[in-house]
Structure 1
Amino acid sequence: MSELCKVIDSLLISNARAACKKELLITEGVTCCINISKRQPFPDHDLHTLRIPVFDHPLQNLSKHFDHCTDLIDSTIRSGGKCLVYCKHGRSRSATICIAYLMRCKNMTLMEAFQMVKRVRPSIEPNAGFWSQLESYEKSLQRNQ
């Protein structure tokens, strides 16, 4: 499995170790990193960065950050950049944000978005709390259409 997994051309997902490899980010053309953790480091590279300080725990409220993160991913892509979303292992928190982006900005269902991310990064597994938040997000997106 590649260290930086390409969800779509300009949206990537990885773990923290890969996200801190400067040469990998430069090669891939990453211009923005969203770090979904309280403790993982930021890359030592001149990038636009955002930290969403949550633990990978079912009771953490990640959904309150969905719109902010998806807006940042969307604006990065629209301006010609590439966005990397990562957390410690690249399995739950970062996957949840990538799925939320696909649902909101690419009009995918939760299952379509999950399967798309799972195809490129088979190890993803949003925790039960995040999955429930994604289900609620899907319903709110459908109501707002």
Structure 2
Amino acid sequence: MESLLRDRKKNLKPTNTILTNNLGEKYEINNEGFCKKINDKCLPFVVDNKPDLEVVKIIDGVYLSSQDPIYCYDILKEHKIQHILSLGIEPDIKFSGISYYFIEILDLPEFNLTSYFDKCFNIIDNCKDDNILVHCNAGVSRSPTIIIAYLIKYVNMNFNEAFDTVKKARPCVRPNDGFIKQLKIAHEVAS
């Protein structure tokens, strides 16, 4: 069996892997494990050129989206959004008649998101009667985490119910592993 694997491995085409770190630096790794830095620099995140204009209702008065719909007045009007809570992404265009709230939150597993829960919860709770849209860059990690935590605390859902409610409304939701851990700890404390 080992000889068969060795023979097949000899016939594999050699390849190099390009790795980009969180600073945007590129490295090339060859089959022997040799690593060399590539001079061209790229962005440390994926650039998304396709707008995500979906706005989903999570519970009465609480909506979730990426950053894209906050720049489209017709979409905001369609959902009767009167408040926008921006997490980590501060809008540079603001419409009259809409209240804006901004909280600097990073989408990093080690970021202590729980320290911002109460501030976010107060904004959501005070604005939900007039429809509040909670968003971050992609509407995948930060904003869903805040809404899941809100559902746990204010709607008395357990972690799984809250996560499933948000995931059902917006299937692309995927909070980073650190945020999931923080949500589970917060749920245990609340129970």
Same fold (TM over 0.5): yes
Give the 5 Å matches for 1:37-52. Answer: 37=88, 39-41=89-91, 43-46=93-96, 47-52=98-103
Moved more, 127-136 or 17-26: 17-26
**Could you tell me which residue of structure 2 aligns to residue 112 of structure 1?**
161
* Alpha-carbon offset, residue 9 of structure 1: 2.3
TM norm structure 1 = 0.89
TM norm structure 2 = 0.68
* Alpha-carbon offset, residue 43 of structure 1: 4.9
Answer yes or no: is the 8 Å Cα contact 1:3–1:18 preserved in 2.
Answer: yes
Alpha-carbon separation, structure 1, partners of 2:154 and 2:95:
27
Alpha-carbon separation, structure 1, partners of 2:183 and 2:64:
18
Cα 1:5–1:43, aligned 2, differ >3 Å: closer, same or farther? farther
**Could you tell me which residue of structure 1 aligns to residue 33 of structure 2?**
none
Q: Which runs of 5+ in 2 are unaligned?
A: 1-51
The CA RMSD over aligned residues, in Å, is 1.6
Task: Tell which has more relative contact order, 1 or 2 (C-alpha 8 A, sep 6+).
Answer: 1
Cα 1:83–1:45, aligned 2, differ >3 Å: closer, same or farther? same
Answer yes or no: is the 8 Å Cα contact 2:90–2:102 preserved in 1.
Answer: no
Bigger radius of gyration: 2
Which structure carries more helix by proportion? Answer: 1
Task: Give the 3-state SS of the residue equivalent to 1:13 in structure 2.
Answer: strand
Asked whether 1:17 is paired with 2:42, we answer no
Moved more, 82-91 or 54-63: 54-63
Corresponding pairs, count: 139
Answer yes or no: is the 8 Å Cα contact 1:40–1:88 preserved in 2.
Answer: no
* Alpha-carbon offset, residue 19 of structure 1: 2.0
Alpha-carbon separation, structure 1, partners of 2:93 and 2:158:
32
